[in-house]
Structure 1
Amino acid sequence: MPRPIKPRFVSAYPVMAAFVPRGIAVTGEGLISVEEFEAIRLSDFEHLDQESAASMMGVSRHTFGRLLAKARATVADALVTGKELRIEGGNYEIRGRGMKRRRCRGGGGGRGKE
């Protein structure tokens, strides 16, 4: 039996939920989870090193690197091939609110949608 995935900490739910190419026909969609979005935000927008960003999310540096690599690959694919990019799902908790908020994206490892 696989080990359960711990929720990752994110600072807030993304303000934008999707990005759509303008002026061309959409060729599909790319999905990134909220925690993958947070990894991009911390690394590329906040310019944090992976160790600091991983600590903020409550994950190992290796796990952070995997989240970041997967998110970057999905974003690059969407930009190059003209796909809609959506941010949704995942397994996360919003940091510093006292209440927990979790989202689960289905399709992987037998996990269903909540």
Structure 2
Amino acid sequence: MSRPRKCRKVCEMPLIKEFRPVGSSSCESTVILTVDEYETIRLIDKQGCSQEECSAYMLVARTTVQMIYSSARKKLADALVNGLSIRIEGGDYKLCDKREKNWGCARSCTYTYQ
């Protein structure tokens, strides 16, 4: 029996959840990027976090972040190279409730703790 997947902590949901190439129709192929994959891209590529810092924010192992990040990058590359739409949805995650300081999202979270 396999080990149950650990829920990943996400501090920020995407404002825009779907991207399409100019001139594409909605019936063409779509790449699904999970919310936890989006979070690793946001933390590592946009915020400039290391994989170690990202793992602390998401409360998972660094190897898990590495796996999630690799999957996300492959999906993004596939969409860009092949002109596919990208939709962000699903995944095993729990959204930061913005009240608990111990979630590990201090620098990446848009909420100001009081």
Name the TM tier (shorter chain). 0.7 to 0.9
**Gaps (5+ residues) in structure 1?**
99-114
Distance 2:12 2:61 in 1: 20
Q: Does 1:10 align with 2:10?
A: yes
Distance 2:87 2:16 in 1: 9
The offset of 1:86, in angstroms, is 0.6
Of 15-24 and 61-70, deviating more is 15-24
TM-score (norm 2): 0.80
Q: Secondary structure at the match of 2:45?
A: helix
The aligned residue for residue 60 of structure 2 is 59
Q: Does 1:36 align with 2:21?
A: no
8 Å CA contact 1:30–1:85 kept in 2: the answer is yes
Distance 1:34 1:80 in 2: 22
Q: 1:27-49: CA deviations, max 9, x gaps?
A: 41111100000000000000001
The aligned residue for residue 90 of structure 1 is 91
Distance 1:22 1:91 in 2: 31
8 Å CA contact 1:9–1:92 kept in 2: the answer is yes
Of 18-27 and 31-40, deviating more is 18-27
What is the identity, as a one-letter code, of the residue corresponding to 1:58?
L
> Which structure is higher in RCO with an 8 Å CA cutoff and minimum separation 6?
2
Distance 2:6 2:98 in 1: 18
The aligned residue for residue 112 of structure 1 is none
Residue correspondences, number: 99
